[in-house]
């Protein structure tokens, strides 16, 4: 993570363990309270496939698939999950296989090239699936291809949430924005939301963006370097940092700590990993934005049932159209994220997103 702080991630997560055990008497998980709708249409025999880039990513087994299966439980649909094993060639063949097996819906996370592109074989398989009448869903993954649904959390709103929180805390001063990979749709939308909120304050002269940098592969160590540069160029007079991920925020916090400014500069991040949460508890990160992946699984499970009957992804409720860099009109379903600060940490434990055991396991003495 590019972390040079003396305490490091372990010490901050240890602090979380204490907090977790204090605010939750039962060290257990509480399930999401929503349930499959009693009015969900039957989808007997409908095959719904998931083609993951690699099942080694924990989120699929921990959050996404359980909620997809829960949403499908009363539909009599069949669900098949395929592991692309980080191979573009294997994933393309798996998409073809699902089409050949008669899948009506494919939930897809693409194994991309080193430059972030959709490989030609995968793109070809996607086109063939759409042409065959299969509803293809870019599952929390933007695929610039006609007829493919983009299911995501509202990226522009995430940027707005970060900016609103920081602007409320620091209505005047010098701002740093740490962006992600240049040319990526996610980065562009996050930045658009950030600037939308900040622009009136910029126009009034209340705030000044003294540094705005891209970060190759969203690398926290590069964010730390860029933050150190911004501090040097501005005589350490930085009031706020808006970072497009928790990792980038942590890199910035590392640089701030080197000059004794941790906790004094308002820092925002998003993604809500354990490190981001620990930074909030320790008071070195003001706000995080949480995209509850269980809501994605639930929403896409329900959407898949509807798509079994009508594969036109543009007909789903709540769809908007996004004008893509490839000049396509991409149907988009954007879910709502949530801001997390010290004031509402309890919601994370009540919902089961983080359990006390996760933090206590790092150092058992934290819960003794």
pLDDT score of 176: 98
Using CB atoms within 10 Å of the CB of residue 120, give its burial: 0 to 12 exposed, 13 to 18 middle, 19+ buried. exposed
The answer on pLDDT for 2 being more than 60 is no
Mean pLDDT of the 68-87 span = 96
The domain 8-24+155-291+339-367 is classified under which CATH number: 3.30.70.660, 3.20.10.10, 3.40.50.1970, 3.40.50.2300? 3.40.50.2300
Please provide residue 264's backbone torsions phi and psi, each rounded to the nearest 5 degrees: -100, -25
Please provide residue 12's backbone torsions phi and psi, each rounded to the nearest 5 degrees: -75, -35
pLDDT tier at 346 (50, 70, 90 boundaries)? confident
pLDDT score of 215: 97
Higher pLDDT: 265 or 353? It is 265
Contacts of 141 (CB under 8 A, 6+ apart): 108, 109, 110, 150, 152
Using CB atoms within 10 Å of the CB of residue 273, give its burial: 0 to 12 exposed, 13 to 18 middle, 19+ buried. middle
pLDDT score of 204: 98
pLDDT digits (tens, 9 = 90+) for 141-157: 999 999 999 999 999 99
Quote the mean pLDDT of the chain. 88
Picking from 92-96, 268-272, 342-346, 357-361, which range would have the lowest pLDDT averaged per residue? 357-361
pLDDT digits (tens, 9 = 90+) for 227-243: 999 999 999 999 999 99
Instruction: Quote the CA–CA distance of 284 and 277 in Å, as a whole number.
Output: 10
Report the alpha-carbon angle 200-202-204, nearest 5.
Answer: 70
pLDDT score of 367: 54
pLDDT digits (tens, 9 = 90+) for 293-313: 999 999 999 999 999 999 999
Contacts of 326 (CB under 8 A, 6+ apart): 144, 145
Q: How far is CA 15 from CA 45, 178, 354, in A?
A: 49, 27, 14
CATH of domain 47-153+292-336: 3.40.50.2300
Higher pLDDT: 357 or 66? It is 66
Contacts of 204 (CB under 8 A, 6+ apart): none
pLDDT score of 277: 84
pLDDT score of 325: 94
pLDDT score of 20: 37
pLDDT tier at 360 (50, 70, 90 boundaries)? low
pLDDT digits (tens, 9 = 90+) for 151-180: 999 999 999 999 999 999 999 999 999 999
CA dihedral 348, 350, 351, 357 (to 10 degrees): 70
pLDDT digits (tens, 9 = 90+) for 170-215: 999 999 999 999 989 999 999 999 999 999 999 999 999 999 999 9
Taking a C-beta distance cutoff of 8 angstroms, is the pair 73, 65 a contact? no
Instruction: Quote the CA–CA distance of 257 and 142 in Å, as a whole number.
Output: 35
Share of residues in the chain with pLDDT > 70 (%): 85
pLDDT score of 45: 86
Domain boundaries, the chain: 8-24+155-291+339-367, 47-153+292-336
pLDDT score of 41: 57
pLDDT tier at 140 (50, 70, 90 boundaries)? very high
Residue count (the chain): 368
Instruction: Quote the CA–CA distance of 123 and 35 in Å, as a whole number.
Output: 35
Strand partners, 177: 212, 242
The answer on pLDDT for 6 being more than 80 is no
pLDDT digits (tens, 9 = 90+) for 19-56: 333 333 233 332 344 444 444 555 768 999 999 999 99
| Strand arrangement of the beta sheet that strand 240-243 belongs to | 207-213, 173-178, 240-243, 266-268
Q: Which helix (H) or strand (E) holds 156?
A: helix 155-169
């Amino acid at each position: 993570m590019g972390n040079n702080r003396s305490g490091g991630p372990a010490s901050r997560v240890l602090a979380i363990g204490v907090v977790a055990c204090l605010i939750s008497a039962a060290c257990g998980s509480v399930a999401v309270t929503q349930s499959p709708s009693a009015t969900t249409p039957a989808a007997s025999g409908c095959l719904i496939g998931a083609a993951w880039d690699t099942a080694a990513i924990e989120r699929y087994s921990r959050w996404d698939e359980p909620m997809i299966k829960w949403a499908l439980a009363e539909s009599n649909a069949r669900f098949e999950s395929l592991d692309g094993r980080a191979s573009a060639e294997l994933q393309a063949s798996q998409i073809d296989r699902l089409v050949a097996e008669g899948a009506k819906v494919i939930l897809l996370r693409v194994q991309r090239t080193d430059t972030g592109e959709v490989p030609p074989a995968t793109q070809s398989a996607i086109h063939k699936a759409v042409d065959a009448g299969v509803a293809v869903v870019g599952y929390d993954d933007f695929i610039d291809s006609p007829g493919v649904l983009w299911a995501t959390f509202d990226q522009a709103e995430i940027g707005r949430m970060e900016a609103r929180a920081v602007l409320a805390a620091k209505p005047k001063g010098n701002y740093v924005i740490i962006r992600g990979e240049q040319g990526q749709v996610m980065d562009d939308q996050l930045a658009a939301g950030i600037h939308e909120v900040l622009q009136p304050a910029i126009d009034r002269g209340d705030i000044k963006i003294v540094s705005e940098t891209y970060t190759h592969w969203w690398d926290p160590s590069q964010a730390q370097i860029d933050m150190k540069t911004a501090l040097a160029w501005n005589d350490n007079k930085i009031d706020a940092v808006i970072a497009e991920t928790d990792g980038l925020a942590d890199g910035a916090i590392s640089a701030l700590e080197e000059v004794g400014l941790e906790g004094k500069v308002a820092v925002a991040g998003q993604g809500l990993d354990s490190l981001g949460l620990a930074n909030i508890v320790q008071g070195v990160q003001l706000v995080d934005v949480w995209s509850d992946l269980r809501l994605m699984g639930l929403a896409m499970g329900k959407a898949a049932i509807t798509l079994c009957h009508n594969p036109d992804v543009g007909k789903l409720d709540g769809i908007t159209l996004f004008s893509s860099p490839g000049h396509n009109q991409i149907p988009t379903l954007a879910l709502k994220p949530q801001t997390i600060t010290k004031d509402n940490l309890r919601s994370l434990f009540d919902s089961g997103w983080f359990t006390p055991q996760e933090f206590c396991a790092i150092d058992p003495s934290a819960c003794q």
